[in-house]
Every structure is written in structure tokens, then in C-alpha cells.
């Protein structure tokens, strides 16, 4: 679906003040959404789906509905008098150089940089760490509107060629091309329909994963099945690619192959989340012997995960949660099948990441959601801790086996991302690159971690950031954010755009609910399938704690979440609508009975369960945002989605918004903002700033702030 904003209502300057004073209290006139008589039978339970027709993203009626909804939404937003000033401030805050940590291949270093407001970051290359940076790839030149982005990049071992992945309008689909690095020339090689893939070089070509070409016109919504692994040789067509692996008997499995640093081994990983299995199997092939078959390291797929970190000769270092819910690193010797020897045994803190560089193992652990980093010998002997600037999040530490130093990035809610260089021999860190945010002084803000008890007594952490001198009088506007799923840790990280709220006296709160990876697999499992209600209870308890401790009140509390977090927002505002003033569900999974029928939605069954299972259906139906909307007063709601989201298809948000508009009995507005030429996230910087400005404006306006 490709839509324009032509015809959107624009408020004139005349009478602007009068409109602004009254618009927040006026319930918009929503477009009439046609209802159909459609009912599904789930294990004997009849479930109506009157807006099923909105799932058709190619129909003219759906396109018209989107245009009409956008007309109402943008007409409302354009009447907020300070919307333009907020966008201007966001541009000022975001207009600073953003540089990624460098990585090395052969004698070259690669890093990304955005000068400030460029729609896409530019990729640079330099010879040696002190060499002169040269532009390698500038995606801003690929399209006039800046919505074509660099989705993947993989440099060959000799640094002569690179795989360049191109994504359009925010879609997860990519096309791979091959660049001749010295000349910057794109070769004729073209690989299409790549998804859930990386590119791993081996000899004169690379491994990648793709799906068969989808039905024309249904590329953004049809179910993705039969994930295949292929090998492409430079200078050939895609039709000549070699099929490496597929499993037609299990069409909803993911298959991926990557190579070890020395390119001796190809590692095949297979997962089957569509059948509710959280783990994976893993196999290897010795390319130095010309092997064509894969040998099992772990042949069966269960709930345990296995990730090959590196090879030490013919042995493999593997990160796994097998018999270790907090994670460990083991050594696997093919001569001893079924045996895994501990290198880094399980600790009380969950293992966040592990990798090798410079002949060492770098491992990061989570201590109450903050990063602790350590250096070990390859045999697992602790050598030292890498000291962080304070509580926060560190990532990176990757490199080659002959590296003398590695890079990592540290950040927190009030500490802008800073790149550090760690010297392996001296065991010392030093600042490599830091940033300056226009008008921002970290000393003006306070970051703290608090703990609260959820409904069942579980102790849950939450991070807060706000201006120093905050008065706990219950009047502070507050934005509470959450995710709570898929073993993903909601780490404390900096956002320059968030400063615009903090300057206005906002408290920003980030809750670390169950379902995430904050405390290992047990914490994750406690927020999945039949236990998903724990996540919602944790979030509601966070809101109640903020109110009870006088940080805010229900009249000054907004909630926000995206994707699985959008589901979170939709579920809790159904269960406790009186607790929140504003709700921002973004690209949410809102129809929990049908999510597995679109694109790769079946991949989420491992976390959510499936409506095809009678017991899981009951749990899903009990909290599904669409199916639990009642005729009551709901908070002011701004639903956001995008026309090229082929991960959580926009039909979720379409059906949810239509249902909420129908059942809202209060005067608070229910709007849906449908971005064009974007996907699961903003496709360029301009759209990111514009979308954030609209969300912030909506929140401020509903709270009566200026």
C-alpha cells in the first residue's frame, strides 16, 4: 500500500488560538468504518471480526480508509499550536554527529557516521586506524526522499569485495549487491527476496538466506515460508546460486549459515519458533575439506539456544543456556559428540553476550539490568573486569583474533553514547569518540534505579531520569515505557530526542518487566504464553508505584510501547483505563488470535502461544487488545503504524483503531497515524523526528501543557 498525504486538513493561522484552546476537549469526527458479519469459531467459541476487510492492504477501500483516518489525525495534530516548535527543538537536539564504533577487516577500518540530520548514516573506510576516512557508501544518494537504506554490509576477508544489502521504505525485504571496494563500483550481481539473513563470506562468494518470491501484490502481508540457505559466487546470476539447505517438511523454520573468522567452518543454525520451541539446533561443515554435508553439534530443536562464538582449531566455543538458564560458554569437541565442557560456567547474573578478540573471551553480564564486562583467557580464566563509567549499558567488544584492542560503546539514560577503546595488553580503556548534544548538560539530570513489587510480589526494576530538583508532589508529567517480551532486555540508553520532554519537566520511566532478558531465561519464561499476564501486571504496578510515590498522577501519566510493547499498551489500557491519561501503542500486535497468519508472525508463537491451541487460545483471548475493548472511557490514544511494515502488518493497528473509535465513550480522542514509505521503524531521520514531534505534541496537549 503506497499512500500520499494529499488532501490532509491544514489549519490556517486565522483563528488558530481559538481552535487550539478547544481542540483537546473535542472528540474528533471519525470516518465511518464499514462492519461486516464475519465470525470465526475457535474451539467452540464464536469470535466476531467485523473489520476483517481491513486486512486487505491492496484494496481500494482500505486505501480510502487510511486516507480518511490520516486526514482526521493530521488535521487534529496541525491544530496543536506548538507542534512546529517541538519539531524544531527535536531537530536542534538531534543535529549532532553520530558515529559508530569502527570494525576491522584486513588493514581497513569501517565505521558509520551521520553528520546530524542526514536521512541515512554514511559508511566510511580508512586504511589503518589513523588513516584518512573516505566515503564508501552514501545511501542518501540512493533516493530523493531518503527512504532507501543500507540494510546489511559484509566485507570479504581480503577486503576486496563487500555485500551491500538494500532495503526500501522500511520493509524487511532486502536486495543484496556486490561492491568492488577499490573502485566503489557495484557489480552486476543481484540477489533478491532476502529476509532474516546475514551475508557470510567463504572463498569467492557468500552464504545468505531467502524466501521464494512472494505472490505479486502481497509482498508485504503474505505468510513467509520455506526459508532457504544459498551460496552466491561473485560474477554469477542468482539463478546460478547453489542451494545449501532447505526443509520443505517444516516450512516455518528459520535457517541461517555463517562462517567462522578463518572461513574454515560453515555453521548452520535452525530454529522452529512457529512450533513454540524457543531454542535451536546447530551444525557445522568443514569447508577446508570440501564437505557438502553438515554434522550435528546439537541435532534436535528444543527450548535451549546454542550460538557458536568461534572455533579454536577444530573445536567450537559455544554460548548456550542448556542446563544454565542464565547462560554459559562451553567448548565442543567433534571427537566427543554430546559432550560440552564448561569454559565460563553459569553465574548468578545472566550472560548478556560473549565473543572473542585478540586471543581473549570478552563476556558481558547483567547486574540488575546494568552491564558488567570481563576479560577471560580462551580456557576461561578471569583476567580482569572492564570498568564502566557508571551504571548503564555497554555493547561491542567484538574483533579479530589478532586484534590488539577492541571498541565498545557505553551509554545510560543521561550519558550520551561514547565509544571507548580497550587496549588488551595494558587492560586499560580510553575514550575514543564522544559526542556533544546541543544545549544538553548531563549534570542537570538525575538517573536512578528503583525497585517495586508486582501484583504477585515479584521484585521488578525500573529506571527513571528527570531534571534535578524534581518535587515529589504528584504533578510531574511522566512517560512510562515498556516492552517485556522475547527475552529482550530493555537496557538504559540515551535518547537525544527524549531531552525535549525532560526539558519540559517530564519524568521518563522505563520498566523492566518479566518476559524480557533482564534476569535470564527464567525471567523471560515467566512472561510468556499462559504467563503473559505477568507482564501486564508488572507494567500496571510500575504505574501505581509512580503515583503512590508522588512522581505523577493518573492525569499526568502517559504510556508508550512499540511492537510487543504496543501489545503491552493495548492490553493494560483495557485492564486499567482509569490509570492513564494518554496511551501511545506503536506498531503493536493487537489481534492475538490471527498474528501468526501474516509474514513471519508465526515466529512469535514461541512467546505468545497460538489460538490453534485450545488452552493457549483462552489465555490469548483474555488479553488480546482488539477483543477486550469495551464501551467505556479510554485514555487519549494515538495509534501509530506504517504502510510498509511487513513485520507487524498494519492491519493490527487498523482493526484496533476502528474498534477503539467505535467503543470509546469518553471525550478523549482516538487517532491513528499511518506513516507512508516506512516500516516497523522510521525509514529515515526526517520521518523519525516528525513522528516523535507528533507523539510528544499529542501527549503534551492531552495533559494541558504548553
Catalytic residue numbers?
563, 680
Chain-centroid distance of CA 700 in Å reads 26
Q: What is the end-to-end Cα distance of the chain in Å, rounded?
A: 36
User: How far is CA 615 from each of CA 532, 543, 618, rounded to the nearest angstrom?
Assistant: 13, 30, 5
Of 474, 328, 489, 357, the closest CA to residue 423 belongs to 357
User: How far is CA 188 from each of CA 191, 202, 233, rounded to the nearest angstrom?
Assistant: 10, 19, 12
- Measured distance CA(107)–CA(129) in Å, rounded: 9
- Measured distance CA(139)–CA(117) in Å, rounded: 14
- Measured distance CA(415)–CA(392) in Å, rounded: 8
Are 17 and 688 in contact by the 8 Å Cβ rule? The answer is no
E-assigned strands of 387-458? 393-396, 405-411, 418-423, 428-433, 445-453
C-alpha cell at 13: 493561522
* Contacts with 7 (C-beta within 8 Å, 6 or more apart), sequence order: 67, 71
User: How far is CA 113 from each of CA 94, 135, 342, 494, rounded to the nearest angstrom?
Assistant: 13, 10, 40, 17
Percent of residues in the chain assigned helix, strand, coil, to nearest 5:
25, 35, 45
Q: Are strands 459-467 and 507-511 parallel, antiparallel or unpaired?
A: antiparallel
In this structure, is the dihedral angle defined by the CA atoms of residues 256, 258, 264 and 265, taken in order, positive or negative?
negative
User: How far is CA 486 from each of CA 112, 256, 392, 458, rounded to the nearest angstrom?
Assistant: 28, 19, 21, 19
* Contacts with 405 (C-beta within 8 Å, 6 or more apart), sequence order: 358, 399, 421, 422, 423, 424
C-alpha cell at 317: 566455543
Cα R_g (the chain), whole angstroms: 25
Q: Are strands 382-386 and 370-377 parallel, antiparallel or unpaired?
A: antiparallel
C-alpha cell at 160: 576486496
- Measured distance CA(677)–CA(642) in Å, rounded: 7
Are 620 and 609 in contact by the 8 Å Cβ rule? The answer is yes
In the numeric block, the cell 494515538 is attached to 638
- DSSP code of 632? B
Residue 654, classified by CB atoms within 10 Å of its CB into exposed (0-12), middle (13-18) or buried (19+), is: buried
Residue 535, classified by CB atoms within 10 Å of its CB into exposed (0-12), middle (13-18) or buried (19+), is: buried
- Measured distance CA(173)–CA(148) in Å, rounded: 12
Chain-centroid distance of CA 462 in Å reads 19
- Measured distance CA(597)–CA(620) in Å, rounded: 15
- Measured distance CA(353)–CA(409) in Å, rounded: 14
Helix locations, 383-532, DSSP H: 499-502, 521-525
Residue 706, classified by CB atoms within 10 Å of its CB into exposed (0-12), middle (13-18) or buried (19+), is: exposed
C-alpha cell at 557: 501519566
Helix (H) or strand (E) holding 92: helix 83-94
Amino acid at each position: 500500500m503506497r499512500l500520499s498525504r494529499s488532501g490532509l486538513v491544514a489549519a490556517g493561522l486565522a483563528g488558530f488560538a481559538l481552535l487550539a484552546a478547544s481542540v483537546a476537549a473535542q472528540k474528533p469526527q471519525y470516518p465511518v468504518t464499514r462492519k461486516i458479519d464475519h465470525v470465526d469459531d475457535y474451539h467452540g467459541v464464536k469470535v466476531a471480526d467485523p473489520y476483517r476487510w481491513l486486512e486487505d492492504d491492496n484494496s481500494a477501500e482500505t486505501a480510502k480508509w487510511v486516507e480518511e483516518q490520516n486526514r482526521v489525525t493530521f488535521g487534529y495534530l496541525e491544530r496543536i499550536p506548538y507542534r512546529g516548535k517541538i519539531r524544531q527543538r527535536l531537530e536542534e537536539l538531534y543535529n549532532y554527529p553520530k558515529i559508530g564504533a569502527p570494525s576491522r577487516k584486513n588493514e581497513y577500518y569501517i565505521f558509520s557516521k551521520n553528520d546530524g540530520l542526514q536521512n541515512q548514516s554514511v559508511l566510511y573506510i580508512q586504511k589503518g586506524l589513523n588513516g584518512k576516512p573516505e566515503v564508501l557508501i552514501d545511501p542518501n544518494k540512493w533516493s530523493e526522499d531518503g527512504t532507501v537504506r543500507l540494510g546489511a554490509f559484509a566485507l570479504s576477508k581480503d577486503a576486496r569485495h563487500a555485500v551491500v544489502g538494500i532495503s526500501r521504505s522500511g520493509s524487511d525485504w532486502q536486495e543484496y549487491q556486490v561492491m568492488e571496494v577499490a573502485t566503489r563500483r557495484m557489480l552486476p550481481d543481484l540477489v533478491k527476496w532476502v529476509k532474516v539473513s546475514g551475508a557470510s563470506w567463504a572463498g569467492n562468494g557468500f552464504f545468505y538466506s531467502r524466501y521464494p518470491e512472494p505472490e505479486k501484490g502481497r509482498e508485504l502481508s503474505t505468510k513467509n515460508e520455506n526459508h532457504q540457505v544459498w551460496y552466491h559466487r561473485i560474477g554469477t546470476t542468482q539463478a546460478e546460486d547453489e542451494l545449501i539447505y532447505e526443509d520443505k517438511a517444516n516450512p516455518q523454520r528459520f535457517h541461517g549459515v555463517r562462517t567462522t573468522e578463518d572461513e574454515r567452518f560453515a555453521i548452520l543454525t535452525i530454529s522452529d519458533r512457529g512450533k513454540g520451541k524457543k531454542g535451536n539446533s546447530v551444525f557445522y561443515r568443514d569447508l577446508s575439506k570440501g564437505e557438502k554435508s553438515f554434522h550435528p553439534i546439537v541435532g534436535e530443536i528444543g527450548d535451549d539456544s546454542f550460538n557458536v562464538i568461534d572455533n579454536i582449531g577444530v573445536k567450537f566455543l559455544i554460548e548456550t543456556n542448556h542446563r544454565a538458564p542464565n547462560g554459559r560458554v562451553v567448548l565442543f569437541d567433534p571427537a566427543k559428540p554430546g559432550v560440552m565442557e564448561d569454559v565460563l560456567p553459569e553465574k548468578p547474573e545472566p550472560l548478556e553476550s560473549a565473543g572473542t578478540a585478540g586471543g581473549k573471551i570478552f563476556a558481558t553480564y547483567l547486574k540488575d539490568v546494568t552491564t558488567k564486562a570481563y576479560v577471560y583467557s580462551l580456557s576461561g580464566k578471569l583476567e580482569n573486569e572492564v570498568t564502566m563509567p557508571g551504571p548503564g549499558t555497554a555493547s561491542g567488544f567484538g574483533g579479530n583474533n589478532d586484534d590488539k584492542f577492541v571498541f565498545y560503546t557505553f551509554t545510560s539514560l543521561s550519558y550520551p553514547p561514547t565509544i571507548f577503546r580497550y587496549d588488551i595488553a595494558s587492560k586499560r580503556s580510553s575514550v575514543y569518540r564522544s559526542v556533544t548534544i546541543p544545549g544538553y548538560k548531563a549534570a542537570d539530570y538525575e538517573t536512578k534505579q528503583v525497585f517495586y513489587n508486582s501484583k504477585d510480589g515479584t521484585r521488578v526494576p525500573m529506571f527513571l531520569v528527570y531534571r534535578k530538583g524534581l518535587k515529589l508532589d504528584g504533578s510531574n508529567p511522566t512517560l512510562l515505557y515498556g516492552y517485556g517480551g522475547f527475552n529482550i532486555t530493555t537496557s538504559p540508553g540515551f535518547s537525544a530526542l527524549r531531552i525535549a520532554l525532560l526539558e519540559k519537566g517530564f519524568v521518563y520511566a522505563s520498566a523492566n518487566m518479566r518476559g524480557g532478558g533482564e534476569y535470564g531465561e527464567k525471567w523471560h519464561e515467566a512472561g510468556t504464553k499462559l504467563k503473559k499476564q505477568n507482564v501486564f501486571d508488572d507494567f500496571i504496578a510500575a504505574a501505581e508505584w509512580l503515583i503512590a510515590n508522588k512522581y505523577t498522577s493518573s492525569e499526568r501519566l502517559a504510556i508508550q510501547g512499540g511492537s510487543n510493547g504496543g501489545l503491552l499498551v493495548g492490553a493494560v489500557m483495557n485492564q486499567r483505563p482509569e490509570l492513564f491519561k494518554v496511551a501511545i501503542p506503536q506498531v503493536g500486535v493487537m489481534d492475538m488470535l490471527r498474528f501468526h497468519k501474516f509474514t513471519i508472525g508465526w515466529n512469535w508463537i514461541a512467546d505468545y502461544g497460538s489460538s490453534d491451541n485450545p488452552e493457549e487460545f483462552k489465555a490469548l483471548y483474555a488479553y488480546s487488545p482488539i477483543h477486550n475493548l469495551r464501551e467505556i472511557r479510554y485514555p487519549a490514544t494515538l495509534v501509530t503504524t506504517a504502510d510498509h511494515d511487513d513485520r507487524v502488518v498494519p492491519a493490527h493497528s487498523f482493526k484496533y483503531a476502528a474498534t477503539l473509535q467505535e467503543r470509546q465513550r469518553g471525550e478523549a480522542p482516538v487517532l491513528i497515524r499511518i506513516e507512508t514509505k516506512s516500516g516497523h521503524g522510521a525509514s529515515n531521520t526526517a520521518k523519525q523526528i516528525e513522528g516523535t514531534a507528533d507523539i510528544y505534541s499529542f501527549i503534551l496537549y492531552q495533559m494541558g501543557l504548553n
